[in-house]
A and B are shown apart, each in its own frame.
Chain A
Amino acid sequence: MRYLPLTEAERREMLVAIGVPSVDALFRDVPKAAWRDEPFDLPPHQGELEVERALARLAAQNVPAGSVPSFLGAGAYRHHVPATVDHIIQRGEFMTSYTPYQPEVTQGTLQYLFEFQTQVALITGMDVANASMYDGASATAEAVMMANRVTRRSRAVLSGGLHPHYRETTETNARFAGVTIVAADPHPEADEDLAALIDDKTSCVVVQNPDFFGRIRDYSALAAAAHAKGALLVVVVSEIVSLGAITPPGEMGADIVAAEGQSIGNPLTFGGPHVGLFATRDKYVRQMPGRLVGQTVDADGRRGWVLTLSTREQHIRREKATSNICTNSGLCALAFTIHMSLLGEIGFTGLAEINHAHASLLAEKLESVPGVTVLNDSFFNEFTMALPKPAADVVEALVGHGVLAGVPVSRLYPDRPELKNLLLVAATETNTEADMDTFAAKLQEVLR
Chain B
Amino acid sequence: MNEWSKAISNFTADLGASGTYSGHRGLQIEEPLLFERDSEGRCGVDLPAPPKAKNRLGTNARKGRIGLPGISEPEIVRHFTRLSQKNYAIDTGLYPLGSCTMKHNPRLNEKMARLAGFADIHPLQPVSTVQGALAVIDQLAHWLKVLTGMPAVAMSPAAGAHGELCGMMAIRAAHQAKGETRNKVLVAESAHGTNPATAAACGFTVEAVPANARGRVDLAALKAQLGPDVAAVMLTNPNTCGLFETEIREISDAVHAAGAYFYCDGANFNAIVGRVRPADLGVDVMHINLHKTFSTPHGGGGPGAGPVVLAAALAPFAPLPWVVHGKNGFEVLEKAEGAATQALGRLKGFHGQMGMFVRALAYMMSHGADGLRQVASDAVLNANYVLAGLKDDLTAPFEGPCMHEALFDDRFLKDTGVTTLDVAKALIDEGFHPMTMYFPLVVHGALLIEPTETESKATLDRFIGVLKALAAEAREGKVDKFRAAPTLTPRRRLDETSAARQPVLRWKPEEPARTAAE
Contact = CB atoms under 8 A, between A and B. Distances in A.
B367 A3 contact: yes
A311 B501 CA distance: 11
Given A51-B365, A97-B89, A345-B67, A292 B505 contact: yes
Contact of B504 (A30, A43, A295): A295
Contacts of A235: none
Contacts of A18: 381, 384-385, 387-388, 401
Interface residues of A, number: 213
A178 B66 CA distance: 39
B369 interface: yes
A120 to B, nearest CB: 9
B153 interface: no
A217 B87 CA distance: 43
A293 to B, nearest CB: 7
A232 to B, nearest CB: 19
Interface in B80-134: 80-81, 83-92, 95, 97, 100, 102, 104-106, 108, 110-126, 128-133
Nearest to B199: A319
Contacts of A327: 159-161, 301-304
A306 B498 CA distance: 11
Contact of A330 (B69, B146, B300): B300
Given A40-B147, A314-B198, 17 more contacts: A40-B274, A45-B368, A48-B108, A65-B122, A86-B114, A91-B80, A97-B88, A104-B489, A107-B490, A122-B68, A129-B506, A138-B348, A163-B349, A177-B201, A270-B121, A334-B299, A360-B55
14 contacts: A23-B381, A59-B116, A95-B91, A96-B105, A100-B300, A106-B86, A270-B354, A295-B499, A295-B505, A297-B494, A321-B200, A341-B71, A345-B65, A377-B58
B419 interface: no
B449 to A, nearest CB: 14
- Of A108, A132, A291, which is in contact with the most chain B CB atoms at under 10 Å from its CB? A108
B269 to A, nearest CB: 14
B277 A323 contact: no
B388 A271 contact: no
B389 A342 contact: no
A97 B118 contact: no
A3 B366 contact: yes
B179 interface: no
Interface residues of B, number: 202
B281 interface: yes
Contact of B53 (A10, A104, A357): A357
Contact of A115 (B111, B133, B245, B507): B507
Contacts of B62: 243-248, 349
Interface string B130-154: 1111011000000100110000000
B118 A269 contact: yes
A151 interface: no
A90 B111 CA distance: 11
Nearest to B193: A315
Contacts of B346: 137, 165, 168-169, 172
Nearest to A104: B489
A69 interface: no
Contact of A96 (B66, B297, B428): B297
B500 interface: yes
A210 B201 CA distance: 30
A50 B368 CA distance: 12
A187 B366 CA distance: 49
A296 B495 contact: yes
